[in-house]
Every structure is written in C-alpha cells, then in structure tokens.
Structure 1
Amino acid sequence: MTEVLGRLSFTDDSSRDLELREYGLDPATDSTLLPNTAVMSALQNLVRLAAELCSAPFGVVNIISAEYQHQIGAWGVDPGVCSREDSMCAKVFLSRERTIVSDASKDPRFADNPFVTGDIGKVRFYASVPLQTESGFVPGTLCVFSNKTNELSPQQVGMLEVLAKQVVELLELQHRTVQLDRTYAELKESNAKLAGFAGRVSHDLRIPLTTILGYVELVEDDPDIGGHSVAAEYLNRIGASGRRMLGMLEDVLNYSRVGGGIQPTQLSLQDVAVDVIRDLGIENDGIVEVQDLRLSADEAQLRVLLQNLLSNAMNYRSQERELRIRISGVSNYQGATLFVADNGKGINPEDRAKVLEPLVRLRREGDGPGSGLGLATCSSIAKSHGGELSLTETPGGGTTVAISFPAGA
C-alpha cells in the first residue's frame, strides 16, 4: 500500500542550510548534527516510542540539508549521515504530507534506492512524517522502517503524526535556545565594549577634573582670596560642580561594569555591610542595623549594591524622624533574598518602576544629590546574578528594597 498526499514544493538549498543553522543544526560538514544534550535525550525517547508504536524495529529523526541527511535521533540503528541523493526521505519530505509504504521495493520512487536494494540496507516497510515548523519550514522527517513489509492502522498513523509534532516542539525549543545564546553573547560583547568605553571616557575626564579641583583647593587656601568674597563664592560653585561631575563619572563607570562576568563566592552579609558603612563614615552613628546572612554573590558587586542603597537612604531621608536603616535577609535551598529597609521619604507605587530606569530622578524638594543611576545599577547587579530587585513600602514609611540571589548564581 502506498499513500502520498500533496504536491512537492522546493526550497533554495543555501536558504535551507541557513535556516538549519538558526535551529542550531549546522550542516556545513558531513558529520552528525548534535542538538544539546537535553534535546537529544528527548528525541531518543520519541523515536523509540514511534518505532514501538508502529511495530517497527528502526526509527530515526532525519534532518535534511542541501547535501546530506543527518540522523539526530535514532532507535535500533546508530545515528549516521548519508548523502541527500541516497536519502529516501529527501524524495518526499517537501510534500509536507506523510508517506506510508508497505513494501518500498515495489514503489517506483524507492525501488532503486540503495537503502532498499541492499547496497546500504534492505528496507521494505517505510513510513515518514515531515517535520513542519510554525513558519512553514520543513527541516526533515520522523521516520520508522523495517526489513519486513508492514501495514499501519489509522490510529497508528494518527499517533505517528502526533509524535512528529512533539519532535517539532523540541526543535523549536532548540531554536529558541540558540536565539537566547546568541542574544546573550551579543549582550555580553556589548557590555564589554560599554565598560571599556566608559572606562576610557571616565579616565580621560577624571584627570582634567581632578586637576581643576586641585587648583580650586589651592586657590581657596590662598589668604588673599577668602572670606565671603565674590571670587570665593565662584570657587565654591566650581568645586561643588566638579565634585558632582566626578561622582557622576564614577556612577556611570559602575553602571557600565555590572552585568559582565561575575565571580560569586560565599559571603557574610554583615562583613560586607560593615565595610560599606565604614566607607560611608556612618559606622558610629547608630543609623544602620545589620543582620548577618550567608549568600552567594560577587563581592565587588554586592559592595556597590549596598553602597548605592545606603547612599540613597541617606539622600532621601525624612525630615520628620531620625534616619534608620535595617539590612537583613532570608535564605533557603533556592538562594537568598536581601532586604534593605529605611524609614525615609519612600517612593510612590506609580514611581517604583520608573526609578529603576537609568538616569531617572524624582527631583522632590529636599532630595540630596544624585545621578539617577543608583537604583538602576542595583537592578543590573541583581539581574547579573540571575535575580531581581523590587521596591515596596516600609511599614510606618520609607522604602524596602528586596534583592534576590538565586542559589548557584
């Protein structure tokens, strides 16, 4: 019995190979194409199920390139490669319809094929279903075959088509994985270029700024220019502007550096926080309460994160109460979540997503200086560890920042 539905349609071979590469199946050589390990294992199970369902000893998933047929999943035979000219599936797969042949030696399309004549094999029963993606591309087939003649019931044919759809789902998963890997590689390269550019710009601008500020300090110490003169006022403004610019350069440099290669280690939250508190000069003020916690994170980035969050809490403190900051966290088998809670002005719910964007400031009355990169930098640090940052209100007023650090980051 022979069943062939539909008409043949053809595709440009070079376009076919480009499309296969998009699915992570590089047909540039005659070696066997290998998707990732998880896809391979699932393909093996589906091919086995298809073969046993059809009472056939052999089953394969064929990927057909411009020149070759690659078996990326096989049951009953070792996966291999043959020329497209020798392939049985290559003769019918572009029909986009199933092909079921009870005895291939009596079918004019396959009678002289080396897989039928005995040159390569002695296939008799042959059934294949094209693997058609949502875009209409057909990379190959799910095929079962036997050295003996066979017939399939309508139920078996239906289930074979269902299994072919499952194979397509796996190939689409492979496709999305390839796209994500490519995007990640491009993002990593972009981040590296950004960090290099920011480093050069920061270096080139910091040297003249530091020189200007040095001269400003020298002139300020000149007894002839002091007190409340107009010159002293101008020098004070120049110095303040220069220091703000230096601070912004450092913020831009920190922001450009995060998201690159991290080196997580087991850290004590208390040890890192105490160092940051000391650097900010608030270790003796009783402002910050720290709860210890073990977490896996990049030490340098965790330090930048805490420094930004504590600086924000100090800049946006409430005038109605003494500033208090609590650093705490929880951990379990999934990782750790760090909380930095202050009792400052707080952030309105409608502004919380906005302030995580780079260079966004709320500019409220009484707010301290800032570049609008602090929370954006902290959010990037969380993402570089595979986690996320969220903002909520502290009970009684203020802002609580939650940062997750997944296990194995």
Structure 2
Amino acid sequence: MTGAKGQLTFTDDLSRDLELREYGLDPGEDSRLLPNTAVLGALQNLVRLATELCDAPYGVVNIISAEHQHQIGAWGVDPGVCSREDSMCAKVFLSREKTVVPDATLDQRFADNPFVTGEIGNVRFYASVPLQTESGFVPGTLCVFSDKPKELTPEQIGVLEVLAKQVVELLELQHRTVQLDRTYAELRDSNAKLAGFAGRVSHDLRIPLTTILGYVELVEDDPDLQADSTAAKYLDRIGASGRRMLAMLEDVLNYSRVGGGIHPARVSLKETAEEVAQDLGIHDHGFVDVNDLILQADPGQLRTLLQNLLSNAMNYRSPERELRVRISGVSNYHGATVYVADNGKGISPEDRIKVLEPLVRLRRQGDGPGTGLGLATCSSIAKAHGGELTLSETPGGGLTVAVSFPAGF
C-alpha cells in the first residue's frame, strides 16, 4: 500500500527501518544511525572526493529512515540528524533518479524547505544521486550542495553517479558483515546447546556403561571362571565393545565442545607437543621430532589437535617402516601454520575431503582402532580459530596435515 508520490505508508515505514537494520543501520530511539568505524572512514573519503570533483563545498551521505534523515558521512559540514519532513533528499530519493538543481530557491520542490529558506541552512545549488542496492532497496542518497547557485557538467554528474555506486558497495559490505556476525552468533549458540546436550547424553550413558564394565571386570577376575570357556570369550567381547563405546562417547563430547569458547594465548608448539607425547606414552620413543614455534591459539584446543594427529599417526603407521612424525610450523604477518607430517599409510587424494567429516573411517586392513572423529575434530578446531585444515602427501609416503591459525583472531 503506497501513499502519495515520494511518501511512504506506515507499513512501508516499518519495512524501511527493518531493512536499514539488516544493513547495520539502526535508527534507534535517539535518532542516531552510524555504520561501523571502518565503513565510516571510507564514506568520509568518498564524500570528500565527491565535493572536490564536483567543485562543491559541502557533501553528505544521507540515510533516510521512517522518521529522520541521518548524515552518516559528511564533508564541509558536521554530520547531523533532521526530521524526514525537513529533508531535501527525502522528497526525491524514491524516484531512483538523479536530481540536479542549480538554484533551489527557484525550484517548487525545495523553495519553502528549511534548508533553503535559512531556517536550517541556505542551500542554493543541490545535487543528489539515490543509493540503490542490487535488491532495489534505496537507503538514501549521496548529495553535494552549496550556498551559491551552480551548474554541474555531464562529466561531474557521471562522477557523482559512480561515487554513489561506491557508497552502495560499502553499505553492502557492512550488510554482509552484519549477516556474518548474526550467523556466527547463531552458530555459537547452537554449539553451546550441542555441547550441553552431548554432555548430558554422555553422562547419562557413561554411568550405566561404566557399571557394566565394572561387573565384567569383576566376573573376569573370578577364580572360578575358566579362561578358555565360552563365558570368558563372551565377557571379553562385551568388555571390548563397552570400552570402544566409552571411547566414542568421550570423542563425541570432545567434538561437540570444539569452538564453543576460544581463548587465544601465546603458546609454545614444542612444549604442547611434548606434553601430548608424554600423555600418550611415546615421549621417550624417539620417533617424534618437534620444532618450536610460538603461536596465538587456544592452548587446550591446540593440545587436543596435536593429540588427535599423533594418535592417528600411531594408528595408521606403515607396516613397511618405523614410524616417524615431524611437527613444525612457520609464522609471518598472516599468522601461523602448524605441520604434522608422518611416514604412515597416508590418505589417497579422493578420500581427503571425506575423512574430515565426522564418524567417517576408511576401514583399511591393518588400521588401528578409532571412531572417525579425530580429523573432524581437528578441522573444527582450525575453523574455530578462523583457519583451515588441509591434507597432503608427505614426500616419500605418509600424511602431512597443515593447520592455519590466522593473525588477529
């Protein structure tokens, strides 16, 4: 439902303000509406360029909300807020056409406007270009003006139109940032709920499972049980299955917790890797070589990542050679990358994407035990830090895992 030309109905007003909020431009009760700092600086530069190229002393980027005009970028004047009723741009911006007025006192659309009459300003020359997004939404205008009558050349009008498109690009950038922030917040909330659910399920299943395993151990220790009896064989299978299920519960819980709360700190790759090797009982075996690197990462999650990668190297070692694992890293202004290279069985190129999915195992002959969550957990840790995990072949055979940790996370 629409009103008179250039006017909006109540329904349209609500829709306009909702659309502005999607762009991170929230009118709010105090009538202030500002983009983020980075966008604000870029807008200021574009407005300045518009005034210089059009040889006009003043320029603004106006955003029109349901009730106000907000100057979010300005040159030659201090950015301010006025009622939409007083706005010059609000009278013409919905036409989606450029407006060039050499002398506003002679134009019936603006002659009685307070920006022209002297009540608010003394505008004579006025030129504006609507800011139209790809979806057709027009949040406002880029305009230049002067307190003296003036004409614009066709070339200057063309420049003003180009700069208006650049303003739209900045607003679209902020729009995508708002969408990403919202998605990240939803993902964080979802991860928190998942971790809570997994914790409850893990707790509820772990108690009866550990009770069963406890009874199995008691029966296995019974002196009357014959080691080669059918009952002993069944108990052994029950115990093995129960322990595998308990390990899977722990892996699922660890996987659900990844990314729930990242607390980056300066951490030593060498110290963390040596602690993990000690926990796995391989510290003194001599097949793990570590180069030191100080990186910015969540210490607990880096530890989990290295533990999973070292466990995988042990589980999928090659029967043809003694296991060797090299842990190293490089850093620069982009951040740091950690490499864990083994000389094991490796993973064929066609399987490298698949094995990063949760609960996926290749099930090759001679492979060690696992739940299919190790590499998926490592990939989630990389993503939670804003990086990524990639798999490649180690020269001479084996698997090299590269995990990036971007700077400034």
- Whether these two folds match at TM > 0.5 is yes
Work out whether residues 31 and 68 of structure 2, in 8 Å CA contact, stay in contact via their aligned partners in 1. no
Give 3-state SS (helix, strand or coil) of 1:193's partner: helix
* Code of the aligned partner of 1:390: T
3-state SS of the aligned residue for 2:207?
Answer: helix
Aligned residue in 2 for 1:125: 125
In the alignment, structure 1 residue 70 sits paired with structure 2 residue 63:
no
In 2, distance between residues paired with 1:170 and 1:327? 42
Cα distance in 2 for residues equivalent to 1:386 and 1:106: 57
Quote the Cα distance in structure 2 between the aligned partners of 1:265 and 1:198: 27
Describe the SS at the equivalent of 2:87: coil
Question: How do 1:7-18 residues align onto structure 2 when only pairs under 5 Å count?
Answer: 12-18=12-18
Maintained 8 Å contact 1:308/1:375: yes
Give TM-score scaled by structure 2 length. 0.95
**Structure 2 residue matching 1:42: 3-state secondary structure:** helix
Q: Aligned with 2:86: secondary structure?
A: coil
Q: Which residue of 2 aligns with 1:210?
A: 210
CA distances 1:37-64 after superposition (whole Å, capped 9, x unpaired):
1110111111111122222221111100
Q: Which shows bigger deviation, 270-279 or 369-378?
A: 270-279
Match of 1:110 in 2: 110
CA shift for structure 1 position 326: 1.8
CA distance in 2, matches of 1:17, 1:336: 42
Find the counterpart in structure 1 of residue 397 from structure 2: 397
Cross-structure match for 1:156: 156
Range that drifts further, 320-329 or 307-316: 320-329
Q: 1:174 to 1:194 in 2, by over 3 A?
A: same
Q: Secondary structure at the match of 2:309?
A: helix
State the partner residue of 2:305: 305
Deviations 1:229-266 (A, max 9, x none): 11111111111111111111111111111112212222
Return closer, same or farther for 1:53/1:181 CA change in 2, 3 Å cut-off. same
Equivalent in the alignment of 1:59 = 59
Q: Which runs of 5+ in 2 are unaligned?
A: none
- Following the alignment from structure 2 to structure 1, what is the Cα–Cα distance between the partners of residues 280 and 315? 12
1:364 aligns with 2:367: no
- Alignment map for 1:127-276 (pairs within 5 Å): 127-276=127-276
Paired residue type of 1:108:
Q
1:87 match: 87
Counterpart of 1:367 in structure 2: which amino acid? D
**Root mean square deviation, CA, Å:** 1.5
Query: Which residue in 2 is equivalent to 1:4?
Result: none
SS of the aligned residue for 2:161 comes to helix
Q: Give the letter for the 2:224 counterpart.
A: D
Report how far residue 30 of structure 1 moved: 4.2
| Structure 1 residues 252 and 142: CA distance shift in structure 2, 3 A | same
Tell me the residue number matched to 1:280. Answer: 280
Post-superposition Cα deviations, 1:273-318, rounded to whole Å, max 9, x if no partner, equal 1211111112232232222222222111111111111111111111
- Amino acid in the other structure paired with 2:207: I
What letter corresponds to residue 131 of structure 2 in structure 1?
L
- Which residue of structure 2 aligns with residue 26 of structure 1? 26
The percent identity for this pair of structures is 81
Q: Give the conservation status (yes or no) of the 8 Å contact 1:32–1:79.
A: no
Is the Cα–Cα contact under 8 Å of residues 124 and 146 in structure 1 kept in the other structure? yes
Structure 1 residue matching 2:206: 3-state secondary structure = helix
Given residue 214 of structure 2, which amino acid in structure 1 is its aligned partner? G
Once the two structures are superposed, what CA deviation does each residue of 1:133-155 show, in whole Å capped at 9, x if it has no partner? 11111000111111111111111
- 1:215 is displaced (CA, Å) by 1.2
Structure 1 contact 272–303 (Cα < 8 Å) conserved: yes
Amino acid at match of 2:75: W
Q: Is the 8 A contact 1:198 1:252 kept in 2?
A: yes
The alignment partner of 1:142 has SS state of: strand
**Shift of residue 21, structure 1, vs aligned partner:** 0.7
Question: Is residue 50 from structure 1 mapped to residue 44 from structure 2 by the alignment?
Answer: no
Q: CA deviation at 1:28?
A: 3.0
Q: Distance in 1 between matches of 2:290 and 2:56?
A: 67
Return the letter of the residue paired with 1:219.
Answer: V
Change (3 A) 1:332 1:113: closer
Equivalent residue letter for 2:135 = S
